[in-house]
Amino acid sequence: MNHSKAASIFNKDEKKVDWHDKALWFVRHKRDKAVHAVEGWESLRNYGHGIKAHTLSNLDNYLIQFEENALKNGVQVHWAADGDEHNKIVHSILKAHNAKKVVKSKSMLTEECHLNPFLEADGIEVIDTDLGERIVQLAKEPPSHIVLPAIHKTKEEVDELFQEHLGTKPSGGDPQYLTGEARKHLRKKFISADAAITGVNFAIADTGGFVVCTNEGNADMGAHLAPVHIACMGIEKLIPKQEHLGVFLRLLARSATGQPITTYSSHFKKPINGNKMHIVIVDNGRTEQLSRPDFRASLHCIRCGACMNTCPIYRRSGGHSYDATIPGPIGSILSPGKDLTKHSSLPFASTLCGSCSDVCPVKIDIHSQLYKWRQIITKETPQPFVKKASMKMMGKVFAKPMQFERVGKVARWSLRNLPKGVINSKPNVWGKERDLPSGPTESFDDWYKKRTENEQ
Amino acid sequence: MSSREHILSRAKANKPDLLELPNLDLNVFTDGRDLIKEFKTKIEVVGGNVVDVVTKENVISQVSSLFPNTKVNFSTLEGTQDFNTVSLEALNKPHELEDLDIMILESNIGVAENGALWLSDNQIPIRVLPFITKHLVLVLNKENIVPFMHQAYQKLSSNATDFGVFISGPSKTADIEQSLVIGAQGALSLTVFIY
């Protein structure tokens, strides 16, 4: 299903769309307040961009250095070329430790690889322990946002889910009560887990350590209690030195939610005595993206979600409409690199307003990349007949100034004089859910000529 | 070819020409704010409480009056054996600390810009303690407050820790309709004593 069709499903519930739109805009606003309080914010973004660009330009050496140091720390390192290999590695580690109950903290990579169904097929229980992720897991849905996984769910929906699965009392969706009940439920899971899986926010080449950021404390509850900790990371999570965390930890939470830093920024290096720690390093299309000069900067992404919160399309179409693990503007430049045909509508799910690039903490030129994907997609994938024909027609009109002026005149007159029913008729999608403005009496060309004459 | 060689060779073949690592000029971030005031403000912004004490010795009595009638307590401060109700040496598994009410730990770095305090294996006897406890109490000397994360990492560069964490406020979530709830999977409250 293409993006606009999937978005129209989300758009059926107008009240929910309005809430979703406003809630995310509020998060964007909190981001602005936090960012404006930081002296030198733009320098911080430039440093973030520069460190990531440098790391990618020396990625193979940093990966080798990271592995070497991690091994010295007593951590086992595994390499996975794709999602399937990643899943098999994690599965084999769990089998080797006879682990049947697994707690997992947020990791978009394991979502990307579809790890949960793979493990569940062998009877392994996998519990997502971030509250938002637990909610969507109970609802059997994927997350709709990378930082706010259940942003598409109302509190009443959560209330019903918890009644059904956790045996809670009807509370009308009281967040305090529901969070408390989730805490009790998850405590039991943490205490009885055989293994913990976490993602990785940053991996440090010169120490072999890695950092995991959460607000709930779920990654730490899992990793410190279970005898086995498996951390899964994409190759792009590397940074050269620990001191560079100073830049990224200042950027991440402010951009994500407007917090000055996440509650917990946990620096893992060596396993607890007697416990085991594994790192799985995953490619899954990343080295391919690295080969594309126009698109490799998308690998700078630190997964803050700011581009989603600010995007006028994302806010009104919901994360599920992108049908990809990473939705929103950043997802729309990552996904076509993985499957151009499946994700061919995503780069068009944008107004190219550029707000995503403006808020990106590592200065990815997201909207330029969206535009560049459009050029490739139009050439390489079949386009709908109506779009092709109308583009061709528009091309002809724009190519001849006289003709352009004539068409413009008709359009302006029509907007002023035709009844609304005709203007907003079905073929005109611009008239859907909105009134078009009245047509001006003169064109820009007319106005400009008149102005020049008056000046003389 | 193993996946390791495959990934490394592709990263090598597909990477752009070497770009320089930026040199960080930390002066651009100087904002002239009062460190102690900023630190306290930020702790409150992130949902924590701040208590000023004259010396470390005053912490326990204040904690006892802030949290009366707690059953399971543990502190790593010197001379607090009377306060401690559990012996870590006698534990078989950290899981047995599930009912821990209060954990008092010392930190040696506080960050003014975000109210975060650093704890490492040197200060945490068992890694899960600051997360599994209901109420976390951290004690910091105000001399150890630095302005930004950059300075915190400068202090950390010399000591190699096996595990460490910056903690800023109590655990929290806003995953249900963006309503902030303090007390998710980690500590329900954080109190910072500054002396």
Asked if A70 and A77 touch (Cβ cutoff 8 Å), the reply is: yes
Q: Do B11 and A218 touch (CB under 8 A)?
A: no
pLDDT in the model for residue B173: 97
- In the predicted model, is pLDDT for residue B7 greater than 90? yes
Cα B148 from Cα B29, distance rounded (Å): 9
Nearest to A291 among B14, B29, B185 (CB): B14
pLDDT band at B89 (very low <50, low <70, confident <90, very high): confident
**Whole-number pLDDT of residue A151:** 97
pLDDT at A233 over 90: yes
B1 pLDDT above the threshold of 90: no
- Taking contacts as CB-CB distances below 8 angstroms, the residues of chain B near A42 are none
Determine the pLDDT at residue A437: 87
* pLDDT tens digits for range B128-144: 999 999 999 999 999 99
pLDDT at A182 exceeding the cut of 80:
yes
Q: Please, which pLDDT band fits residue A135 given cuts at 50, 70 and 90? A: very high
CB atoms within 10 A of CB A273: 7
With CA atoms as reference, the chain B residue closest to A75 would be B162
Place of tokens 């190219």: A352
- Does residue B27 fall inside a structural domain? no
Task: Tell me what pLDDT residue A431 has.
Answer: 82
**CB < 8 Å from B in window 247-276 of A:** 247, 249-250, 257, 259-270, 272
Is residue B29 included in any domain, yes or no? no
Report the interhelical angle of A385-399 vs A401-417 (nearest 10°): 110
pLDDT at B135: 98
| Residue B69, min C-alpha distance to chain A (Å) | 22
For residue B164, the model assigns a pLDDT of 97
Q: How many domains does chain B have?
A: 1
**Residue A431 or A125, more confident:** A125
Domains and CATH numbers, chain A: 1-29+304-382 (no CATH), 38-284 (3.40.50.10420), 389-455 (no CATH)
Contact B19 A50 (CB under 8 A): yes
- Those residues whose C-beta lies under 8 Å from the C-beta of residue A203, and which sit 6 or more positions away, are A66, A209, A210, A211, A233, A237, A238, A239, A279
pLDDT of residue B11: 98
**Reported confidence tier of residue A428, pLDDT bands at 50, 70, 90:** confident
Q: Which pLDDT tens digit goes with each residue over A41-79?
A: 999 999 999 999 999 999 999 999 999 999 999 999 999
Q: Rounded to whole angstroms, how far apart are CA atoms A160 and A139?
A: 10
Q: Do B184 and A132 touch (CB under 8 A)?
A: no
CB atoms within 10 A of CB B116: 28
Mean pLDDT of A127-138: 98
- For the stretch A78-107, pLDDT in tens is 999 999 999 999 999 999 999 999 999 999
Quote the distance between the C-alpha of residue A195 and its chain's center: 27
Q: Please, which pLDDT band fits residue A238 given cuts at 50, 70 and 90?
A: very high
Contact B177 A51 (CB under 8 A): no
CB within 8 Å: A215 and B171: yes
Tell me if residue B186 falls in helix, strand or coil: coil
Q: What is the pLDDT of residue B52?
A: 97
pTM score of the predicted model: 0.95
Q: How confident is the model at residue A18 (pLDDT cuts 50, 70, 90)?
A: very high
What mean pLDDT comes out for the span A291-296?
98
Alpha carbon of B65: minimum distance to chain A alpha carbons (Å): 25
Cβ–Cβ below 8 Å for B7 and A281 = yes
User: Poorest-confidence range of A314-323, A397-406, B40-49?
Assistant: A397-406
| Torsional sign, CA A219, A223, A247, B144 | positive
Beta carbons within 10 angstroms of residue B89's beta carbon: 6
Average pLDDT over residues B47-52: 98
Which pLDDT score is estimated for B68? Answer: 92
Checking if the pLDDT of B104 tops 80, the result is: yes
Nearest beta carbon to residue B127 from set A46, A130, A224: A224
Q: Does some domain include residue B6?
A: no
pLDDT-based confidence at residue B13 (cuts at 50, 70, 90): very high
Average pLDDT value for residue range B70-85: 93
Residue showing tokens 């006879």: A98
Compare all CA atoms of chain A with the CA of B19 and give the residue at the minimum distance. Answer: A54
Mean pLDDT over residues A309-321, rounded?
98
Please check the confidence at residue A357 and state whether its pLDDT lies above 80.
Answer: yes
Separation in Å, CA of B35 to nearest CA in chain A = 14
At residue A316, the pLDDT reads: 97
* CA–CA dist A424, A433 (Å, integer): 9
Residue B193, helix vs strand vs coil:
strand
- Does the pLDDT value for residue B159 go beyond 80? no
* Interface check A196 vs B, CB under 8 A: no
Contact across the interface for A79 and B7, Cβ inside 8 Å: yes
* Segment 48-77 of chain B within 8 Å of chain A by CB: none
Q: Which domain holds residue B61?
A: 35-194
- What's the CA gap between A54 and A32, in Å, rounded? 28
Query: Which residues from B are below 8 Å from A154, CB to CB?
Result: 177
- Extract the tokens encoding A337: 């690199």
Is pLDDT at B187 greater than 90 in this prediction?
Answer: yes
Whether residue A23 contacts residue A308, with contact meaning beta carbons closer than 8 Å, is answered with no
A140: left (phi over 0), alpha (psi -120 to 50) or beta: left
Task: Please name the residue of chain B whose CA is at the shortest distance from the CA of residue A289.
Answer: B14
| CB contacts < 8 A (A, B) | 253
Q: Is the pLDDT of residue B158 over 80?
A: no
Say whether pLDDT at B96 is over 90. Answer: no
Residue A301 pLDDT exceeds 80: yes
Interface of A with B in 154-193 (CB under 8 A): 154-155, 158, 173, 175-176, 178-180, 182-183, 186-187, 190-191
Band (pLDDT 50/70/90 cuts) for residue A337 is very high
Band (pLDDT 50/70/90 cuts) for residue B88 is: confident
Contact A260/B170, CB-based, under 8 Å? no
Q: State the smallest CA–CA distance between residue A336 and chain B in angstroms.
A: 18
Across B107-135, average pLDDT? 97
- Domain membership of residue B120 (yes or no) is yes
**Chain B hits for A215, Cβ within 8 Å:** 171-173, 184
Residue B15 lies in a domain: no
Interface contact B18-A79, CB threshold 8 A: no
Assign residue B81 the CATH number of its domain: 3.40.50.10420
- Which residue pairs from A96-99 have beta carbons closer than 8 angstroms and sit at least 24 positions apart in sequence? A97/A194, A97/A195, A97/A227, A97/A228, A97/A276, A98/A194, A99/A124, A99/A194, A99/A195, A99/A228
pLDDT reading at A456 higher than 80 = no
Q: What's the rounded mean pLDDT across residues B155-179?
A: 93
User: Which pLDDT tens digit goes with each residue over A260-290?
Assistant: 999 999 999 999 999 999 999 999 999 999 9
| CB-based contact, A80 to chain B, within 8 Å | yes
Whether the complex's predicted ipTM surpasses the cut of 0.95: yes
